[in-house]
Amino acid sequence: MNDHQRILIKYGGNAMKDSQLQERVAKALKKLYDHGYEVVLVHGGGPFIAKVLQQAGIHSEFIGGHRATSPEALIQVEMALKGMVNGALIRVLQKEGIKAVGLSGKDGGTVTAKKRWHLVADGELEKKVDLGQVGDVDDIDTSLAELLLKNGYMPVFTCIASDTQGQDFNINADMFAGHLAGALKVDQFIVLTDVDGLFEDIEREDSLITELKSGEIKALKDTVIKGGMIPKMESCEVALANGAGLARILNGTDPSQLIDVLINNTNKGTRISYHG
C-alpha cells in the first residue's frame, strides 16, 4: 500500500469521551503522520453539546434525528465544539508531536452551509419543519486544507459553517466529513464508530459485512443499516460519489485498527467501494 496517502477520519463517540482512549487515538494518528500520510480530522461532539445546553437551561428537541437548534442554542453548540472539543483534541495531538490546526467550516470559507428543512409527509404533500440553525453542506473550498496539508499540518475541523449571508449553522458531523472527504479526493475516508463495522445482525459477532459497494447501501437502509449508522453510511455514499477512493467503518474504541488497516494492510471493519 502506498504510504503517502491522503485520508480523512471522522472521529466521535466513546473514542472522544474517554481521555485515555483519546490519547491512544492520538498516538495512532502520530504513526500515520510519521508514515507520510496526509491526515484530516473531522469531529462532532453530541455528548458535549448536550452537557452545555443542559447547563445553560436550553431544552434539546430532536426532529428526524437532528437537534433543533435556536440561535441561542447555537452559541452554546459552537462553544462546546470549538472551545471544548476542538481545543482538547488539538492539545492531545500537539502533545504527540503533531502540527494540528483547529478549524471550523467557517475558517477560510472551507464549507458553505445552507439551511436544512426536515420534510415530513402530510397526506400527499410534504411539509417542511423548521430545525432552526441546522444546516447542510452547500459548497466546499479546499484551498485552506490543501495549503495546511502541503505544509505538514493536520487540519482538525468541527462541523460549524456559515451560509452566503453570514448565518451560522450546525451541520451533521458525518455528512460534513463525507462532503469534505469527497472534495479533497482523499484516498480513504474512515468513519470511526463504537462497533467493528456494519453487521447484518448487531447481536451476532459473525455477521460483520466486510465488503460493500456504495450502490448496495440504499437497499439496506432501515433493515441492516439503522439508527446512528444511517448518517455514517450516507456520509460514505457522499464521499465516494464525490471523489474519495475508498470508505471504511472502523471501531474507534480500538485505535490499533487504524494501524492494522493503513500501515499493516490488514482488512478490518467494513470496506466500502464506489459502485453507482
Residue ranges of the domains in the chain? Answer: 6-273
Q: What tens digit of pLDDT does each residue of 46-56 get? A: 888 989 999 99
Per-residue confidence band for 200, with pLDDT thresholds at 50, 70 and 90: confident
Q: What is the mean pLDDT of residues 205-209?
A: 86
- The CA angle 249-252-254, to the nearest 5 degrees, is 115
pLDDT attached to residue 14: 62
Tell me the pairing of strands 61-63 and 66-68: antiparallel
Q: What tens digit of pLDDT does each residue of 130-188 get? A: 999 999 999 999 999 999 999 999 999 999 999 999 999 999 999 999 999 999 999 99
DSSP H or E run through 258: helix 256-262
Backbone conformation region of residue 201, classed left if phi is above 0, alpha if psi is from -120 to 50, else beta = beta
pLDDT attached to residue 2: 46
DSSP 239-256: HHHTT-S-EEEEETT-TH
The residue count of the chain comes to 276
pLDDT attached to residue 276: 61
Fold of 6-273: Carbamate kinase (3.40.1160)
